[in-house]
Structure 1
Amino acid sequence: MANPMLEWMRERRITEVECILPDMAGVARGKIIPKEKFVADPEMRLPEVALLQTVTGDFPDERMLDLTDPDMVLEPDPNTLRVVPWATDPTAQIIYDCFRSDGAPVDVAPRNVLKKVLGLYAEQGWEPVLAPEMEFYLVAPNPDPDVPLSPPLGRTGRAEFGRRSYAIDAVNEFDPLFEDIYDYCYAQELEVDTLIHEVGTAQMEINFLHGNPLDLADQVFLFKRTVREAAFRHNMYATFMAKPMENEPGSAMHMHQNVLDRATGRNIFTLDDGNPAPPFFHYLGGLQTFLPEGMPFFAPYVNSLRRLSRYTAAPINVQWGYDNRTVGFRIPHSSPESRRIENRVAGVDVNPYLAMAATLACGYLGMVRKIACTDPMQNNAYELPYQFPYSTDDALEVLSGSEALASVLGRRFVDMYVALKEKEFAEYFRVISPWERKYLLLHV
């Protein structure tokens, strides 16, 4: 019997394979193996703790971990097989799924969490559709983390200054970089669409075409690697921090979403006469009710909370409105058939699998529980009260107590994620910042 993956590799003269899986932070873990070994036995083993690392490389408290430190059985998803276009030798990459020795999916694997949510939609006869928008900054190389970030040099030899929102010439400054990004994306079948210059200095946005959430999460996961690699080759960094510079706007991953009827392909947010359908309002009601409980998935780091503050071009509450960019949930202009909701809360620093799983979980709960939403906001929502948890501790406490989200995402996963973030935040609070040395060292 022909092996499609082997034939694909032969055609491209692949010599080695990057076998990867996303951990809780969305970092690529795994192994690089020779093509012959992959072809002979593509199954792989790694311990479960490979998924359960903080962004600093530490682990949750031992009481949360299986003390036997068991292996996972890792199996490649053939649909994710792609080239690594920046590699020196012909190299492939493929994303793996995680299973236990008895064949059960590993419940803390981010890809499996998203699959679990998509399975709940399928049971209802629904098919969610999603389209992410990725904002990021280009910055000069920054090997010393104590030095603030600055814009990189463009093709004119000058660093960008001031605000160049939507300026074509400002994007053209980095044409050689973006030519590589688009070439790399094309080679990997990443379906990127529009490129624009955002509000911040050297802040860019690339949008994806709408599609299946699992496929889009895979694409975003690979896109972040791609942009960083391309930037390195042009003597600059690309950063997906939510708030990399104190006087510049933050970066978001806006998620446009709607839901189709699996049998008919019809958008269930719209009635036959073109008006909004009850599931549209119930989905909004679910987002308004449960998104604050899931904030650690949309703002996963201390830095993430710096973006979600008043007058920073980021939402601070769960209001919704028609073509209103000051709210958490915007309804863009569209045809009735394309009616959708844009979740503007998530930072671009999120794990795409978990952020997509969480936003779909909120909408799912709203629809199955038929939760009513508020009236649409027609004014500036930045003037209204803050509706998210104020601190990392508050956010984790709220998530830990959310039986609704745990019922959709999985209780063990939620508990493990909370434990991991508790460890990560504790590490952060041990660090003494330059601000403290500047203002407190000799003044208090």
Structure 2
Amino acid sequence: MPSPAPETFAQLERWLDDRGVTEVECLVPDLTGVARGKILPRERFTEERGMRLPEGVVAMSVTGETPLKGPYFDVISSTDVDMHLEPDPSTVRIVPWATDPTAQVIHDCYDRDRKLIPFAPRSMLRRVCKLFEDAGWNPIVAPEVEFYLVSRNNDADMPLKPPIGRSGRRESSRQSYSIDAVNEFDPLFEDVYAYCEQMKLNVDTLIHETGAGQMEINFFHSHPMELADEVFLFKRTVREAALRHDMFATFMAKPIAGEPGSAMHVHQSLVDRESGRNLFSNEDGSPSQAFYWYIGGLQKYIPSAMALFAPYVNSYRRLARFTAAPINIQWGTDNRTVGIRAPIAGPAARRVENRVIGADANPYVALAATLACGWLGIRNRIEPEDECTTDAYLRDYSLPRSLGEAVQLLRENDDLREVLGSEFVTVYTEVKDVEHDEFMKVISPWEREHLLLHV
């Protein structure tokens, strides 16, 4: 049996001693899911029991920009004050690809009054999980994360291509669930699984998805914070392993034109802490009222939460009709054309699958947001629309079609602001406005191709 994860700093110290660790990567996920922080010598990590960083470090755009004025500074000090980052001992893992014995530890962010920084993604997920805990419920999630393997690409103006596998050829056709197509990259995935085993990441099934070079990894179900940490670390792991095999791994929502996008489907359910019963099922095994209210909450609030599920301009290229990605918030049993799917399962395993979320979403933010939508559904007793039993692609769009539209919907939704925290929503939407404005300064190849000489 593996030794239990450390729970205290003293246990963490013994864990590091037992493995002869000489350096510690002190990590904190920012709004985009990028790993920020410092690498400390072991002695300094022990002395300081954390680190200090400017609070704005966790509140930047994907290009590292921040707003220059506006409501952002009603939350974040304009004097660039420090926050204190404290290690969460339960997150410690060895860095399997490091030359010297190196550990990585995810940190939580606190202000000078020892309060969690409310706009830090981990803090916000803690806030949402506490709502369920106070009700006596345990939220359970299981993400399925899609990603592409592509050939190294050092020129951002050039389209991405599938990598060359063991056969010496590139994939050029759809290879859904093909075992041989996965085996083309056996050396890479042997490293990925070895790294995951060393890091105690609870990955389950690896499959080849529809796109050329597109893969999916499934995680075992667990508590949202544990799974968010694991997805965060898994993304680092796959990117590192791919580089060592002369290719890139990308979690962009739509990296290759003409190929399907990449999603992070999240299965979710609620368990009563006292009885251990799945709250989505009645005692006779039938779907419970909570199950339907949860779906109703997803249907009502997903459109306003889209900036959290689809956080970049590229994200909305994935959400197109007949592309294996949803375009609306219909729900259905065992129906993969809808945004909210209820898989076939027994009463103990009854769950809801949010198929809207992109692989590019920050796992902490995405899990908090989907749980928040479901929580509001139960709290407000929101009845779902009639179940969709046909092809949902034949119905109208009901999701935002652009980042700008999605950000405005999030900014205006008072219920989500209440559950996620006003500080978080303010900082997030202000940063996304900056990111969108930055993108709009770029002239795309399509514009040069079709507008240059025609208008």
TM-score range, shorter chain: over 0.9
Deviations 1:370-410, CA, capped at 9 Å, x for gaps: 11011211000001000012222221111111000011000
* Partner residue in 2 for 1:27: 34
* Partner residue in 2 for 1:5: 12
Deviations 1:282-336, CA, capped at 9 Å, x for gaps: 0000000011111000000000000011111100111000000000011111111
Secondary structure at the aligned position of 2:204 is classed as: strand
1:310 & 1:241 partners in 2: Cα distance? Answer: 19
* Partner residue in 1 for 2:173: 162
Secondary structure at the aligned position of 1:302 is classed as: coil
2:388 & 2:453 partners in 1: Cα distance? Answer: 48
Structure 1 range deviating more: 252-261 or 153-162: 153-162
* Partner residue in 2 for 1:399: 410
Structural mapping, 1:263-302, within 5 Å? 263-302=274-313
- Aligned partner (choices 60, 69, 88) of residue 77 of structure 1: 88
Displacement of 1:277 after TM fit?
A: 0.5
1:40 & 1:217 partners in 2: Cα distance? Answer: 28
2:109 & 2:194 partners in 1: Cα distance? Answer: 31
Count of aligned pairs:
444
- Aligned partner (choices 43, 49, 73) of residue 50 of structure 2: 43
Structural mapping, 1:16-415, within 5 Å? 16-63=23-70, 64-65=72-73, 66-415=77-426
1:391 & 1:228 partners in 2: Cα distance? Answer: 28
2:242 & 2:50 partners in 1: Cα distance? Answer: 33
Deviations 1:341-361, CA, capped at 9 Å, x for gaps: 000000000000000000000
Displacement of 1:438 after TM fit?
A: 1.7
Secondary structure at the aligned position of 1:62 is classed as: coil
Q: Is the contact between residue 9 and residue 89 of structure 2 (CA under 8 Å) also seen in structure 1?
A: no
1:75 & 1:2 partners in 2: Cα distance? Answer: 10
Deviations 1:94-123, CA, capped at 9 Å, x for gaps: 000001100111000000000000001111
Q: Is the contact between residue 132 and residue 207 of structure 1 (CA under 8 Å) also seen in structure 2?
A: yes
Displacement of 1:2 after TM fit?
A: 9.2
Q: TM-score, normalised by structure 2?
A: 0.96
Structure 1 range deviating more: 2-11 or 39-48: 2-11
Aligned residue identity for 1:359: T
Displacement of 1:57 after TM fit?
A: 1.0
1:105 & 1:10 partners in 2: Cα distance? Answer: 29
Displacement of 1:3 after TM fit?
A: 2.5
Q: Is the contact between residue 148 and residue 245 of structure 1 (CA under 8 Å) also seen in structure 2?
A: yes
Deviations 1:116-168, CA, capped at 9 Å, x for gaps: 00001111111100000010000000000000000101011111111111110
What percent identity do the matched residue pairs reach? 56
Aligned residue identity for 2:16: M
Q: Is the contact between residue 300 and residue 349 of structure 1 (CA under 8 Å) also seen in structure 2?
A: yes
1:400 & 1:216 partners in 2: Cα distance? Answer: 27
Q: Is the contact between residue 141 and residue 269 of structure 2 (CA under 8 Å) also seen in structure 1?
A: yes
Aligned residue identity for 1:52: A
2:78 & 2:444 partners in 1: Cα distance? Answer: 35
Aligned residue identity for 1:318: I
What are structure 1's unaligned runs of at least 5 residues?
Answer: none
Aligned residue identity for 1:325: R
Displacement of 1:193 after TM fit?
A: 0.3
Aligned residue identity for 1:341: V
* CA root-mean-square deviation: 1.1
1:373 & 1:222 partners in 2: Cα distance? Answer: 35
Displacement of 1:61 after TM fit?
A: 3.0
Q: TM-score, normalised by structure 1?
A: 0.99
Q: Is the contact between residue 61 and residue 423 of structure 1 (CA under 8 Å) also seen in structure 2?
A: no
Q: Is the contact between residue 165 and residue 200 of structure 1 (CA under 8 Å) also seen in structure 2?
A: yes
Secondary structure at the aligned position of 1:3 is classed as: helix
1:150 & 1:43 partners in 2: Cα distance? Answer: 41
* Partner residue in 1 for 2:440: 429
Aligned residue identity for 2:435: E
2:16 & 2:115 partners in 1: Cα distance? Answer: 30
Aligned residue identity for 1:295: M
Deviations 1:199-251, CA, capped at 9 Å, x for gaps: 00010001000000000000000000000000000000000000001110000
Give every structure 1 segment of 4 or more consecutive aligned residues whose post-TM-superposition deviation is greater than 3 Å.
Answer: none
